[in-house]
């Protein structure tokens, strides 16, 4: 992946070889669970995280009338919160897209 914040550099094709093998350019790269793109923003990572959290929220929401609040918060803390907090030090206070708030009833 070539990292650039200059729009003019994003469309340049550069061949990088190791031995005889050409390394292909990637738009998104996932490393240690963090997905970034060649523009150094978090759009793809946020979309992936949002989808994971939405699936888990649906499961928790489907049993909301069965479990007491204490157990729902335990499920949130163990199943959703780690996805939201992982890598937060890297996302930090950066500009750009953010996850919207998820609510448990």
* pLDDT (tens digit per residue) in 3-38: 555 555 555 677 778 888 888 877 888 888 888 887
Q: Reduced to 3 states, what is the DSSP secondary structure of residue 95?
A: coil
pLDDT-derived band of residue 74, with 50, 70 and 90 as boundaries? very high
Q: Which residue has the tokens 């650039």?
A: 4
Q: Higher pLDDT residue, 65 or 7? A: 65
The residues spanned by each domain of the chain are 7-91
Q: What pTM does this model have?
A: 0.63
List, in order, residues 6 or more apart from 81 with CB less than 8 Å away.
none
């Amino acid at each position: 992946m070539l990292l650039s914040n200059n729009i003019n550099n994003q469309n340049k094709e550069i061949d990088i070889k190791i031995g005889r093998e050409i390394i292909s350019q990637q738009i998104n790269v996932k490393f240690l669970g963090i997905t970034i793109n060649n523009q150094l923003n978090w759009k793809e990572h946020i979309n992936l995280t949002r989808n994971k959290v939405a699936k888990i929220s649906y499961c928790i929401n489907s049993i909301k009338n069965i479990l007491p609040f204490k157990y729902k918060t335990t499920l949130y803390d163990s199943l959703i919160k780690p996805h939201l907090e992982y890598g937060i030090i890297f996302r930090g206070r950066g500009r750009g897209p953010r996850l919207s708030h998820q609510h448990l009833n």
